């Protein structure tokens, strides 16, 4: 299985480019973030013509997540247990949820397409929401893996965190001043790893960013961030055979400000036909 994640920054604006990438790179499952549309507005046709099933979750012109898969998409969920909501000026557990999570089982893997809240600024209520959201995600992960230790679980998407200094090439983001690099955000990312997940890409692709702001020539200067991840349980990461960050997708006409991150999986293990024969 080839699994990719991509913050497409409006699927209606970039559907041709997104489908073309999937076909060219032989992607089996694509998790999308920031689709910026409701399900009834999603451009299903080009995906279906290319052989993909699609499920989408969006509530308005902001946020939104989706999954496209060549295999059937089963057990769809639009929120993980305990996921908090947000509405400016509205505090408490009854705040409405945003379209930031979409989970489903595909080919034996529980995949979550996640668009983690931005946080906006360190003194903004959205920052508190971001940390609460990540805390609930870690709780869900811990609980899911305690119940099923051998679950092939993948949390993929735009995490809006550069967890180490090596992941931050943007000189305007400074620890203690900016979101995405603050110690509490980095601790929240580490909590996901402590809950039983591993970065499936970093061991195979130790360098490279996944996001470059459109402004101030960030891409030509390579002043980017690594904020898009594939985090997996041991049953998932043990099956990973390859990974790539497709930097060139930041080039060309109307690119997203993010690029795809891809992993290859061997979920079946060695072919029985390759096993040595034993003669009595």
- Tally the domains of the chain: 1
Q: What is the reported pLDDT for 91?
A: 67
Please report whether residue 280 resides in a domain: no
Task: Please compute the mean of the pLDDT values over residues 178-204 and round it to a whole number.
Answer: 98
Please report whether residue 59 resides in a domain: yes
Task: Please compute the mean of the pLDDT values over residues 113-130 and round it to a whole number.
Answer: 97
Q: What is the reported pLDDT for 12?
A: 98
Q: Which percentage of the chain shows pLDDT scores above 70?
A: 95
Q: What is the CATH number of the domain that holds 252?
A: 3.60.10.10
Please report whether residue 87 resides in a domain: yes
How confident is the model over 141-176, as pLDDT tens digits? 999 999 999 999 999 999 999 999 999 999 999 988
**DSSP string across the chain:** -EEEEEE-S-HHHHHHHHHHHHHHTT-SEEEEE---S-GGGS-HHHHHHTT-EEEEE-SSSS--EEEEESS--EEEESS-TT----BTTB-STTSPPPS-EEEEEETTEEEEEEE-----STTSHHHHHHHHHHHHHHHHHHHHHHH-TT--EEEEEE-----SGGGB--TT--TTTSTTSSHHHHHHHHHHHHTT-EESSTTT--S--SB--SSTTTTTTT--B--EEEEE-HHHHTTEEEEEE-GGGGSSSS--SB--EEEEE-SS-S-GGGSPP---
Please report whether residue 96 resides in a domain: yes
Please report whether residue 51 resides in a domain: yes
Please report whether residue 46 resides in a domain: yes
Task: Please compute the mean of the pLDDT values over residues 109-132 and round it to a whole number.
Answer: 97
How confident is the model over 65-96, as pLDDT tens digits? 999 999 999 999 999 999 999 987 776 677 89
Whether this model's pTM surpasses 0.75 = yes
Domain that holds residue 48: 2-269
Please report whether residue 279 resides in a domain: no
Please report whether residue 26 resides in a domain: yes
């Amino acid at each position: 299985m080839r699994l990719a994640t991509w913050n497409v920054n409006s699927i209606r604006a970039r559907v041709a480019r997104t489908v073309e990438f999937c076909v060219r790179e032989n992607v089996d499952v694509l998790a999308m973030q920031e689709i910026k549309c409701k399900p009834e507005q999603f451009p299903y046709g080009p995906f279906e013509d290319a052989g993909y099933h699609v499920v989408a979750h969006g509530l308005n012109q902001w946020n939104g997540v989706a999954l496209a898969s060549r295999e059937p998409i089963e057990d769809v969920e639009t929120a993980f247990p305990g996921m908090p909501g947000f509405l400016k000026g509205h505090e408490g557990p009854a705040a409405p949820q945003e379209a930031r999570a979409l989970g489903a089982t595909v080919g034996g893997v529980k995949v979550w397409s996640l668009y983690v809240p931005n946080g906006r600024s360190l003194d903004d209520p959205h920052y508190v929401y971001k940390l609460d959201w990540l805390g609930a995600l870690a709780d869900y992960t811990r609980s899911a893996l305690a119940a099923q230790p051998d679950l092939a679980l993948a949390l993929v998407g735009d995490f809006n965190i550069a967890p180490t200094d090596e992941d931050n090439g943007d000189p305007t983001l400074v620890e203690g001043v900016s979101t995405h690099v603050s110690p509490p955000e980095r601790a929240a990312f580490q909590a996901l790893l402590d809950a039983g997940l591993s970065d499936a890409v970093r061991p195979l692709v130790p360098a490279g960013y996944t996001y470059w702001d459109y402004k101030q020539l960030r891409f030509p200067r390579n002043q980017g961030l690594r904020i898009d991840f594939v985090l997996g349980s041991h049953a998932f990461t043990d099956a990973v055979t390859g990974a790539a960050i497709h930097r060139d997708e930041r080039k060309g006409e109307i690119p997203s400000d993010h690029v795809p991150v891809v992993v290859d999986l061997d979920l079946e293990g060695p072919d029985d036909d390759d096993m040595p024969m034993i003669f009595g």
